[in-house]
Amino acid sequence: MRSSQHFQWAQLLALPEHPALPLQARLRLAVVNAILEGRLPAGSPLPSSRELARLLGISRNTVTAAYEQLVNEAFLRVRPRSGVFVAEGIRLAATPHTPTPAPRSATGQAPDWPGRVRRSLARQPTLSKPPQWRQYPYPFVYGDYDPELFPTEDFRECCSRSLARAQLRHWTPDFETDDVPELVEQIRLRLLPRRGVFALPEEILVTVGAQHAYHLLAEGLMDAHTRVGLEEPGHPHARNTFSLRQPQFLPAPVDDQGVQPDRLPPLDYLFVTPSHQSPTTATLGLQRRSELLARAERDDFVLIEDDYEAENLFVGSPMPALKSMDQGGRVIYVGSLSKSLSPALRLAYIVAPRALIAELRLLRHAMVRHPSTLLQQAYALFLSLGHHESHARRVNAALQERLAVLAQALRAFMPDFHFELPQGGASVWVSGPSWVDAAELAQMARSHGVLIEPGDVFFISPPYPCRHFRLRLSSIPAGQIAAGVRALSLAADELARARGATRRATPPLH
C-alpha cells in the first residue's frame, strides 16, 4: 500500500519539463498545477519535505523552500505537528468540457461581422510564414531571434537589475503619457548622435515597435484625402498599417540607388527607407538625400524616414540620416531599438517636432497608454552598459559571414539569378530569369524545406510574373545557407520544367 501511495505522489508531482526553470520553480509549478486543476483538493495533505525529496530525487532544501513560498502565497498551509495541507478557498482553473449550446434567439441569426468591420486587412498582401515555419531547415525569412547571437547573460543582467528594489521607483509608477527618462536620454545621447541626429527629450516618443510608430502617424496625420508616397517596391508593413486610414497611395519609383527624387508625384507624405532600402537593400546616396530634402521643401511634403537596419553596415562609412540633414523640420524619424535582438521585444521610437510628438503622446495614451516601463528601464541599462553596441558588432560580423556564404552559394547553384551585394542590412534581393514567378517558386521551395519572401508583396502594383524575392539572413545559421540555396535551386529546376524553360542542372553540394 505504501509503495502504491509513493508511486501516486511521484506521478502527481512529477517535475514538468521546463529547462529554463530551476528545480524549486519546477516543483512549485507541479504543485500549483495539481491544486488549480483539482487533482489536489482543499485540505489534502502533502508528503513531508524529506519524503517528497526522496521520491523526486531532489534535495530536501529544494522541497522546503518551495513549500515555504507556497505557504506565503496561500496555496498551502501548515498545521502544527500535522504537516502541510492544501489551503482552503483557492479558485480552481476552468476544466475543459463540451460546451452546452447556447439557446438560439427567435431569429437564429448571428451579427453580420464581415459587414460590420469597417477597416479590414484580411485581403491586404503582407509578409507571412506557414504554420510551424521554424521546423523548416532553410528559413530565409524574418521572424526569429538568433540563439547564437542573443546576449542572454547581458540582457538577463539588465532585467534583474531593473527588478531590484532600488530600481522599482524608476518604472513602477503610472507614467500616463510619459516614457522612462533614462531610456529617452540613452536614445538622444547614445543612439541618435551616431546618426547625426540631435533631439530634445520632448522630441522623442517611445513606441511598441516600428509598426506602432506607423500606426500613430497614420492615426494622427492621414485620412482618405492624404496623398502618401511609398517606395515601389517598398515596405509592406508600413503600407498595410497606413492603409487603416485609407489614404491615397502613390508609387515612388526605386532603382539600384534607392528612391528617385525627380520622379515623385505630388504628395503630402513620403515614406522612405534610405539606409538600406526595404526590400532592395539599396543605400540612398548623399546627393539624392539632398535632392529629396530640397524637393520636400519645394513641393511642401513631409518625409517619414524609417532608418531601417542602419546599424547593420558592412562596408564604407555610415551615411547621415535624412533627419540629420533636415533644416526645416520636414523629416519624421523612426528608429528601432530591438530589431537586432529579437522581433518579440517591440521597442522603437519616433523623433519629430515637439508639437507633433505632443499630439502623438495623446494618441498613444488612448491606444496602449505607454510601452512597458520595465522593458524601457531594462533597455536603458542595456544601452548605458554598452551591451547594445557590442551586440551590434557581433551581429554585423555574423551577417557579413552569412552574406559571403550566401553570395558564394548563389553564384555556384543559381548563376542565372541576379543579385547585388548590399553595403549592409540582413537580406539580399534576388531577381530571377523572365520565366520565374517568385510566389510559385516559394511554393515549390517549401517542399524542399526552403522558405523565401516572394517579391510581389513588396509592390503596390506587383508585376506578373514577379521574378524578385528576398533572402533574409537573420533566422538561418551560416552552416545551413549553402545547402538551403542548393535546395532552392532544385525547386527552380522544377519550376523551369513546368514553364518549359531550360537552365543548367543544379550541381551537387560539395
Question: What would the DSSP string read from start to end of 93-115?
Answer: PPPP-PPPPPPP-SS-----HHH
Contact 234, 260 (CB under 8 A): no
Sign for the CA dihedral angle at 88, 91, 93, 96 comes to: positive
* Overall average pLDDT of the 348-365 stretch: 96
Phi and psi at 160, nearest 5°, equal: -65, -45
Q: Give the distance, in angstroms, between the CA of residue 204 and the centroid of all CA atoms in the same chain.
A: 21
d(CA 357, CA 199): 12
Tens digits of residue pLDDT in 173-198: 889 999 999 999 999 999 999 899 99
Of 135-149, 271-285, 353-367, 415-429, the least confident: 135-149
Contact 256, 282 (CB under 8 A): yes
Higher-scoring residue by pLDDT: 102, 215: 215
* Overall average pLDDT of the 191-216 stretch: 95
Q: Which residues does residue 77 pair with via DSSP β-bridges, in sequence order? A: 85
The CA-CA-CA angle for residues 214, 399, 425, to 5°, reads: 35
Whole-number mean pLDDT of the chain? 90
pLDDT of amino acid 381: 93
pLDDT of amino acid 4: 57
H helix runs in 202-250, sequence order: 210-221, 236-242
Contact 472, 427 (CB under 8 A): yes
Question: What would the DSSP string read from start to end of 11-62?
Answer: HHTPPP--TTS-HHHHHHHHHHHHHHTTSS-TT-B---HHHHHHHHTS-HHH
| DSSP 8-state symbol, 146 | -
Contact 491, 450 (CB under 8 A): yes
Amino acid at 105: S
* Overall average pLDDT of the 107-124 stretch: 83
Tens digits of residue pLDDT in 45-85: 999 999 999 989 999 999 999 999 999 999 999 999 889 99
Does the pLDDT value for residue 365 go beyond 50?
Answer: yes
* Overall average pLDDT of the 267-293 stretch: 95
Q: Which triple of cell numbers denotes residue 93?
A: 482553473
Count of other CB atoms within 10 angstroms of residue 354: 14
Strand order, beta sheet including 427-431: 418-419, 427-431, 468-472, 453-454
The percent of residues above 70 in pLDDT, for the chain, comes to: 95
Q: Coil, strand, or helix at residue 235?
A: coil
Contact 229, 252 (CB under 8 A): yes
* Overall average pLDDT of the 385-393 stretch: 88
pLDDT of amino acid 1: 43
Among the listed residues 349, 344, 411, 415, the one whose alpha carbon sits nearest the alpha carbon of residue 380: 349
Among the listed residues 458, 453, 445, 456, the one whose alpha carbon sits nearest the alpha carbon of residue 487: 445
Contact 218, 235 (CB under 8 A): no
Question: How does residue 19 score in pLDDT terms, banded at 50, 70 and 90?
Answer: confident
Q: Could you tell me whether strands 450-451 and 138-139 are parallel, antiparallel, or unpaired per DSSP bridges?
A: parallel
Higher-scoring residue by pLDDT: 214, 147: 214
Which helix (H) or strand (E) segment holds residue 25: the answer is: helix 23-36
Tens digits of residue pLDDT in 241-268: 999 999 999 999 999 999 999 999 999 9
pTM: 0.85
* Overall average pLDDT of the 436-452 stretch: 96
| DSSP 8-state symbol, 352 | -
Sign for the CA dihedral angle at 358, 359, 360, 364 comes to: positive
Structural domains of the chain, ranges and CATH numbers in brackets? 2-86 (1.10.10.10), 133-142+390-499 (3.90.1150.10), 152-385 (3.40.640.10)
d(CA 26, CA 17): 8
